[in-house]
Amino acid sequence: MKGEAAFVSAMRALARHPAARGLLDDAAVLEVGGEALVLTHDMLVEGVHFLPTADPADVAWKLVATNLSDLAAKGAEPLGVLLGFMLGDGAARFVEGLGEVLDHYGVPLLGGDTSSGGPPRAFGLTAVGRATHRPVPSRDGAHPGDTLWLTGRLGAAMLGFEALRDGGEADTTAYRRPLARLADGQALAPRVTAMMDVSDGLLLDAWRMAEASRVSLSIDGAAVPIAAPEGRRLDALRWGDDYELLFTLPPGIEPPVPATRIGAVEPPAFVPLFLDGEPIANSEGLGFQHGQ
């Protein structure tokens, strides 16, 4: 068994509870006492998700924001987080950054666990939210004829990472301290047919939405707003770490938040994804995937 996709595929045989959504979504949705709880867990690993020289305060911020972005894709209101912390240098700065991000979003720390280990160090976080709309949006609801939309711009995180890695002068905020679009997700939840956050690259995440919905997505690459130079457009579409919302709407429906129409949902074809009319035959190289 090699790579992320193979492992997740094996896990699907174990994730039989309806809340798991077949492991095809950003988060689990658990029905409890008339409420729908939304649960997600992400990890950040040194050298994979952040540079070894990163400020631990920024690592804490990113750890929380990336998990809350999964809640945003479900239109959920955060209720709290549980932290998995690997002890080591910079703990005080991590705590400082954790306090800043929790205060920013008004989210309580509910508990967690600590362990020794590393390098490299790894940190995990579980975020718990409450759905604000039922049914809770998923990746698998896009229908032929729907329109495809994206919040924000892509590529700022890519440029920030390169500046940190290479000592450049670009603004690094988007990479170090991303923002989860919680308010946008809650506003969109009653209207979308499908929604997910863009964490691993627009093209790869669009591929995943298309496969989950059993449709084809057609993207107009020139329509996608980017924060990178025009010559880096394709890089921006593949790089990831943007944490924008990718969503579909029924024909004739406009989004209630600022967003750009970047394509359309089409009947299932011989490939899940078309970029500028050209078919994309497989997902390799479309974005960030572990274990390739």
Residues 203-230: tens digit of each pLDDT: 999 999 999 999 999 999 999 999 999 9
Q: 25: number of CA atoms within 13 Å, CB side?
A: 25
Domains 3-131 and 147-280 share a fold: no
Give the number of other CB atoms < 10 A from CB of residue 291.
Answer: 10
- Tell me the one-letter amino acid at 281: A
- Tell me the one-letter amino acid at 230: E
Backbone angles phi, psi at 237, to 5 degrees: -75, -15
Q: What's the CA gap between 196 and 189, in Å, rounded?
A: 11
Residue 290: pLDDT over 90: no
Question: 10's torsion region: left (phi>0), alpha (psi -120 to 50) or beta?
Answer: alpha
Going by pLDDT thresholds of 50, 70 and 90, the confidence category of residue 103 is: very high
Domain locations in the chain as residue ranges: 3-131, 147-280
Residue-wise pLDDT tens digits, 117-137: 889 999 999 999 999 999 999
Q: Give the pLDDT mean for 197-204.
A: 96
Give this prediction's pTM: 0.93
Helix (H) or strand (E) holding 150: strand 147-150
Q: What is the pLDDT of residue 16?
A: 79
Residue 291: pLDDT over 70: no
Give the number of other CB atoms < 10 A from CB of residue 185.
Answer: 30
Residue 288: pLDDT over 70: no
Q: 275: number of CA atoms within 13 Å, CB side?
A: 17
User: Of 104, 51, 106, 59, nearest to 83 (Cα)?
Assistant: 59
Residue-wise pLDDT tens digits, 258-274: 999 999 999 999 999 99
CA separation, residue 52 to residues 58, 62, 115, 119, 189 (Å):
12, 14, 19, 9, 37
**Structural domain 3-131, CATH architecture:** 2-Layer Sandwich (3.30)
Q: Give the pLDDT mean for 239-245.
A: 95
Fold of 147-280: Phosphoribosyl-aminoimidazole Synthetase; Chain A, domain 2 (3.90.650)
